[in-house]
């Protein structure tokens, strides 16, 4: 079972939106997926309560139970676990990063969020430096702020995800009824951006599968 941790020091940077969007994308891609909600606010778990579909599985748990819950998820057939963490919880962030095969760190393209990455770097070090990338999220739909943020982050030595999540209302509208943007507006831009992010994460977690898929697509176009 592969494990993806979603970390962010600040609240409101779309950690849960990202975790749930990726979980649904993976489920629709045929990967049995579980979301582990470490946030005391239980945002992901409450989203699941509003949902009328039986995927992905969402489990709310305390940090001290993370290893046991991951073990149980794998025992029940999960192929991917996405760990959604709360803001301002170093213990949860370290535990999630230690368990993860890949760490994704959503930030808004503003200096308040960029400055939190120094602490994120410390957390990654304590966790043994798992592979990681920063995701620029809630980017304005006009202007160059996301591009400028990417340049700052790359100069600081961070890997930046090539996919960007813009501030689109479809994410909130979908979440209100227990859906993700991909389900709410399958052909919308919010859905397309989440699918692009999923493709990036899938290549990181399942490189052999993605290479086979790319070869198959290339063959079908020949």
d(CA 13, CA 113): 8
d(CA 222, CA 219): 5
In what order do the strands lie in the sheet containing 160-166? 57-60, 33-37, 80-84, 2-6, 102-107, 132-139, 160-166
d(CA 96, CA 91): 9
What pLDDT is stored for residue 11 in this prediction?
83
d(CA 52, CA 129): 38
Left, alpha or beta for 77 (phi > 0: left; psi -120 to 50: alpha)? left
Average of per-residue pLDDT across 24-37: 97
Strands, E assignment, the chain: 2-6, 33-37, 57-60, 80-84, 102-107, 132-139, 160-166
- Beta bridge mates, 46: none
pLDDT digits (tens, 9 = 90+) for 128-186: 999 999 999 999 999 999 999 999 999 999 999 999 999 999 999 999 999 999 999 99
Specify the fold of 2-215: Rossmann fold (3.40.50)
Count CA atoms closer than 13 A to 165's CA, side-chain side.
31
Domain positions in the chain? 2-215
Q: What is the share, in percent, of the chain residues with pLDDT greater than 70?
A: 93
Tell me which of 207 and 138 has the higher pLDDT: 138
What pLDDT is stored for residue 12 in this prediction?
87
Q: Picking from 18-22, 101-105, 198-202, 204-208, which range would have the lowest pLDDT averaged per residue?
A: 204-208
Determine the distance from the C-alpha atom of residue 41 to the mean position of all C-alpha atoms in its chain, rounded to a whole number. 18
Task: With a cut of 80, say whether residue 211 has pLDDT above it.
Answer: no
82: closest CA among 6, 192, 183, 195? Answer: 6
Q: Look at residue 136 and give its three-state secondary structure.
A: strand
| Residue 6 Cα distances to 23, 120, 212, 214, angstroms | 12, 11, 27, 26
d(CA 77, CA 1): 9
Neighbours of 20 (CB within 10 A): 31
DSSP alpha helix (H) spans, 32-85 = 43-49, 66-75
Q: Contact 33/78 with Cβ under 8 angstroms?
A: yes
């Amino acid at each position: 079972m592969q494990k993806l941790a979603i970390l962010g020091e600040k609240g409101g940077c779309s950690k849960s939106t990202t975790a749930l969007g990726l979980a649904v994308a993976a489920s629709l891609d045929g990967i049995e997926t579980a979301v582990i909600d470490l946030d005391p606010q239980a945002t992901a778990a409450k989203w699941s309560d509003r949902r009328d579909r039986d995927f992905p599985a969402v489990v709310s748990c305390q940090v001290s139970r993370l290893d046991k819950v991951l073990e149980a998820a794998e025992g029940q057939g999960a192929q991917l676990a996405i760990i959604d963490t709360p803001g301002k919880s170093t213990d949860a962030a370290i535990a999630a990063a230690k368990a993860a095969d890949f760490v994704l760190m959503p930030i808004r393209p503003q200096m308040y969020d960029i400055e939190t990455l120094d602490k994120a770097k410390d957390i990654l070090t304590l966790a043994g430096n798992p592979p990681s990338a920063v995701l620029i999220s809630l980017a304005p739909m006009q202007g160059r702020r996301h591009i400028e943020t990417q340049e700052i982050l790359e100069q600081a030595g961070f890997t930046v995800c090539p996919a960007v999540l813009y501030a689109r209302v479809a994410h909130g509208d979908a979440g209100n009824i227990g859906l993700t943007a991909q389900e709410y507006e399958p052909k919308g831009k919010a859905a397309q951006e989440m699918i692009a992010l999923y493709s990036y994460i899938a290549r990181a977690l399942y490189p052999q599968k993605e290479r086979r898929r790319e070869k198959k697509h290339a063959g079908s176009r020949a």
